[in-house]
Structure 1
Amino acid sequence: MPEEHYKSFDVARAHIAQELKDLIDRSTKGSIDEPVLPFLRLFNSHPDWITTSTCSGRLVSYLPGSAISNGIDKPLAVNGKGGGDWLFVSHSTLSTSQLANPISTIFGGRSVNATRFLRSIKPDECRMVHLTYQPPVLHLMARSVEIAAVVLRAAIAAGFRNSGLTIGQRGKVILAIRSSTGGLDVPIACLSSQNNETERFELVVEEDYLSNLLKIGHELMSKNQSRLTRLFTALESSLKPSNQVIEWEPQDERRKRMKAEGLLAAQSKLKLDSFKDQTTKTQTENDSILVDIGLFED
């Protein structure tokens, strides 16, 4: 059965490739994560692939809910997307100084009441600050399911067992490489007061506990780097990158090349069949001669 290709792949790939050239990133952070740059180079140099969205994994503290910006309420979901406030974001392991000053690190120098913590709080009484670790995720568009399946198997073998494929109504093939292990999401503080210039937070956990959470996040980011290295090695071996960066073979040229390769293969087969026929004929004639001179007589 022939491969079913996504017919609009080259058009969609061209659009995404142009955005990558212009360094357009629609994520909350607004820039491409440095740890995933090798993955972008690997896949975007291949004519059958393009990256659509990537995150190298992150440790963040954020304030979900409504935030006022230019008079407009912006909701922030618990996954950190949308509006609201980002207090701290790291895509790498933490420094010694960051680990030694957990409150300053997590709250970014904002005012925090660390002398006491709220032992009980109703969720609807205040906006809660979350400290969370989110594992890496890579979304890639492939030319066909058959092409994507090779990389999917490599990703699962590398430990990213929550990876999978989605196929759109028009045949768009998206590979999501991800893992559900190692997550962390803990409410740590409450926004007790806010005005146009300052915010004040009340801890809902003890400072020692907060310090331990930050160390756990640091360890998760360290393991994250090792897992990304293992994943890259596995994916690199499953691909054969071309020499072009953000370039691909146009569909008409690809069709002509495949037709020429098919004709060449057919011609080679005809020559091989002709050679086999001639060899068989010669061998038969030689056998007849040997029989005539009695070499095969009892």
Structure 2
Amino acid sequence: PDRSQLPSWKIQCLNKCDFSKKGSVDDDISHIVAFINSHEQYFTTSSCSGRIILFDGAWDCQVQKRNCSWLFVTHQKCQSEDVLTSLEKSVGDSSLKFEPFVLHIQCKKLEDAQLLHTVAVNSGFRNSGITVGKKGKIIMAVRSTHCLEVPVSHRGTVLITDQYLDFLVRVSNQKMEENLKRIERFYECLQTALQPQEQKCFLKEAADKKPIYRRRRKRAQVDSVTDCCQSVNDHNENSEEETVCDLLFL
């Protein structure tokens, strides 16, 4: 978007450097990030499409990792051989971990955040939530719960068999597949929710004029879109009366 026409709060975020290890938006969600940032009331502050990581470190008494180093990371499905080769480099306590899609969005108003929260929950990201900072900064986080973290070595000694490693990689890859499906479902519902009001009315009128036999033939497709639209419409009608269940005031 043209930065000269953006509000000051959004310009400040756009001018910040990307301090992530990758330094850029993941390919599988670049279209989502661009779509959200094209709307005046939103701006993405951090994101990850989902990843499989093998990291090495040392456990402390509080069961937390210290001095971690990444032995292997991918945002796609992986092969057991690649993970095993990386595991051989471990000198501490390593774990294999799958982290699902996460997206943090700064919102202009609370109603804007509530709308995105409805879209996220209906798309399968049921761990999503909204936080409001002391200065009124509103962040909506898209999160999921289908994570995986398994210790695989201790002080450089591998604790699992090749067969069990194959199993862990297979489970991680299955989670990655489901993760990508939820991402696309989120994008589809997001497009419906952020459509201009005039376009929503036009689509509704066009749907009402369709012949009955065509409705029946495409019932499965129409039902999925209708459910998403209905959820968003219900949210719009009740947003002034309802408060999001997991709203946190920091």
Structure 2 residue 20 is the aligned partner of structure 1 residue 27: yes
* Aligned partners of 2:71 and 2:89 also within 8 Å: no
RMSD over aligned Cα atoms:
2.4
Q: Distance in 1 between matches of 2:11 and 2:23?
A: 21
Residue 231 of structure 1 corresponds to: 186
* Aligned partners of 1:49 and 1:141 also within 8 Å: yes
* Aligned partners of 1:128 and 1:189 also within 8 Å: yes
Residue 11 of structure 2 corresponds to: 14
Residue 283 of structure 1 corresponds to: none
* Aligned partners of 2:51 and 2:73 also within 8 Å: yes
- Size of the aligned set, in residue pairs, is 188
CA displacement at 1:190 relative to structure 2: 2.5
- 1:238 maps to a residue whose letter is A
Give the TM-score normalised by the residue count of structure 1. Answer: 0.58
Q: Distance in 1 between matches of 2:89 and 2:39?
A: 49
Q: Distance in 2 between matches of 1:47 and 1:214?
A: 41
* Aligned partners of 2:72 and 2:83 also within 8 Å: no
Residue 46 of structure 2 corresponds to: 53
Residue 86 of structure 1 corresponds to: 70
* Aligned partners of 2:80 and 2:165 also within 8 Å: no
User: 1:90/1:237 Cα in 2 relative to 1: closer, same or farther (>3 Å)?
Assistant: same
Instruction: Write the deviation string for residues 194-228 of structure 1: whole angstroms up to 9, x where unpaired.
Output: xxxxxxx3211112111111111111111111111
Deviation above 4 Å: which 4+ runs of structure 1? Answer: none
Q: Does the residue aligned with 2:7 lie in a helix, a strand or coil?
A: helix
Listed as ranges, the gaps of 5+ residues in structure 2 are 1-5, 197-250
Of 142, 146, 164, 2:111 maps to: 146
Q: Distance in 1 between matches of 2:27 and 2:83?
A: 24
- 1:139-218 matches, cutoff 5 A: 139-180=104-145, 182-191=146-155, 201-218=156-173
- 1:86 maps to a residue whose letter is W
Q: Does the residue aligned with 1:212 lie in a helix, a strand or coil?
A: helix
Instruction: Write the deviation string for residues 118-154 of structure 1: whole angstroms up to 9, x where unpaired.
Output: xxxxxxxx83100000111110001000111111111
Listed as ranges, the gaps of 5+ residues in structure 1 are 1-8, 67-76, 113-125, 192-200, 242-298
Q: Distance in 2 between matches of 1:10 and 1:240?
A: 21
CA displacement at 1:102 relative to structure 2: 4.3
Q: Distance in 2 between matches of 1:102 and 1:53?
A: 27
* Aligned partners of 1:46 and 1:240 also within 8 Å: no
* Aligned partners of 1:25 and 1:32 also within 8 Å: no
Q: Does the residue aligned with 1:64 lie in a helix, a strand or coil?
A: strand
Q: Distance in 2 between matches of 1:149 and 1:169?
A: 18
Residue 127 of structure 1 corresponds to: 92
Instruction: Quote the sequence identity (%).
Output: 30
Q: Distance in 2 between matches of 1:89 and 1:111?
A: 14
* Aligned partners of 1:137 and 1:177 also within 8 Å: yes
* Aligned partners of 1:53 and 1:140 also within 8 Å: yes
- 2:168 maps to a residue whose letter is L
Q: Distance in 2 between matches of 1:152 and 1:30?
A: 27
CA displacement at 1:64 relative to structure 2: 2.5
Residue 259 of structure 1 corresponds to: none
The structure number with the bigger radius of gyration is 1
Give the TM-score normalised by the residue count of structure 2. Answer: 0.68
Instruction: Write the deviation string for residues 81-130 of structure 1: whole angstroms up to 9, x where unpaired.
Output: x8521001111122xxx2455412x43xx457xxxxxxxxxxxxx83100
* Aligned partners of 2:95 and 2:151 also within 8 Å: yes
